[in-house]
Structure 1
Amino acid sequence: MTNDEDFDAFVRARWTTTARLAYALTLDHQKAEDLAQESFTKLWFHWRKVRGESPEGYLRKIVTTTFLSGARRRWSAERPTEVPPDTAIGSGTGQVDDRLALHAAMSRLSPRQRAAVYLRYAEDLPERTVATLLGCSVGSVKQHTRRGLEALRLDTTDQLADLAGRNIA
């Protein structure tokens, strides 16, 4: 197999997983696809060097560092103009409600906290691997994870209190 064919096969095999990781970090489908595509482009330039080693780990590192470097830049061209109103949703949407609540809670975390929580718990990576991906110490990973989980718990508690208040009224 040539380098190009080998790389094409790798992209086809890893696209879904990479896009899922990118979505978990960006919380936006279009940004996730852009991040995944940019990451594969960066990987292509180093393909000869990493294809025999661990390209999956190298790709995960590219996705994470590209996300974090982009998160440091402030983008001010798009600004929401109004907050959508709260609407009642009928039964049968519990999982959707939970997913939307988690999405909203994750969006309020800092980029590093979001990355640490997702990589530790959704990707089930050890702290040492997460530290390598984030370019920080294991202690920092523990701190970002702890603070992220605390914020998620607080968000969940607040949402339950809001729901209880609406049900009583």
Structure 2
Amino acid sequence: MPDASEQEFVEYFSARLPMLQRLAYSLCGDGDEADDLVQEAATRLFQRWSRASRADHIDAYVRAVVVRLFLDSRRKGWWRIRLFAAPPDARHAEDGGVEDRTVLRAALAQVPPRQRAVLVLRFLHDLPVDEVARTMGCSAGTVKSQTAHGLAAMRRLLDGADLVETTKGAAR
């Protein structure tokens, strides 16, 4: 890759890094795994930069790479391997909004990966159905049905959960 193209890649990816980290974290719920997803996406994008940089919607292309890497990781199951017996102690804040987000994030983690990807893209990243379909490589009807199934699963999981502030609207 020539130096000018390499510099162009670095500038593009540096500008999109926060968005990609939010997307990856929203999908997997784990900071380290999110970093791994973003790093793998960067590697793949760098390898294909000459072709990818000419794409009409490069942000959509990169989002699709992250989502597909997430879904592939769930099929492969490497995330089930534990290096430690227990996770490190988590610090809890007193803010009720944090508790709500924690409950929602825990419920989202229990939703099947494709449904989780659809919910994250539709509601946390506010993408329209057609763009989610392109990102995931499926039809708009599949996105709609996965959304319905994912929301139903979230409702079942949250039915017994005691959210601290239910009147403030959707927690993000």
Query: Which bracket does the TM-score occupy, shorter chain normalised?
Result: 0.7 to 0.9
The alignment partner of 1:136 has SS state of coil
Q: Does 1:77 align with 2:81?
A: yes
- 1:58 is matched by which residue type in structure 2? Y
- What residue in structure 1 maps to residue 66 of structure 2? 63
Structure-1 separation of matches of 2:50 and 2:161 = 49
Within a 5 Å distance, the mapping from 1:2-41 to structure 2 comes to: 2-41=4-43
- 1:125 is matched by which residue type in structure 2? L
Gaps spanning 5+ residues in structure 2: where? 164-172
Structure-2 separation of matches of 1:55 and 1:107 = 28
Structure-2 separation of matches of 1:11 and 1:74 = 27
**TM-score after normalising by structure 1:** 0.83
Q: 1:158 to 1:79 in 2, by over 3 A?
A: farther
Structure-2 separation of matches of 1:82 and 1:43 = 34
| Cα shift readout 1:44-73 (whole Å, capped 9, x = no counterpart) | 111111213322111111101111111111
Within a 5 Å distance, the mapping from 1:18-167 to structure 2 comes to: 18-53=20-55, 54-75=57-78, 76-78=80-82, 92-160=94-162
Aligned length: 156
**TM-score after normalising by structure 2:** 0.82
- 2:5 is matched by which residue type in structure 1? N
What percent identity do the matched residue pairs reach? 35
Q: 1:72 to 1:11 in 2, by over 3 A?
A: same
Structure-2 separation of matches of 1:26 and 1:95 = 20
The CA RMSD measured in Å over matched residues stands at 2.4
Shift of 1:128: 1.4
Shift of 1:79: 8.5
Runs of 4+ aligned residues of structure 1 deviating over 3 Å after TM superposition are 79-83
Structure-1 separation of matches of 2:27 and 2:84 = 20
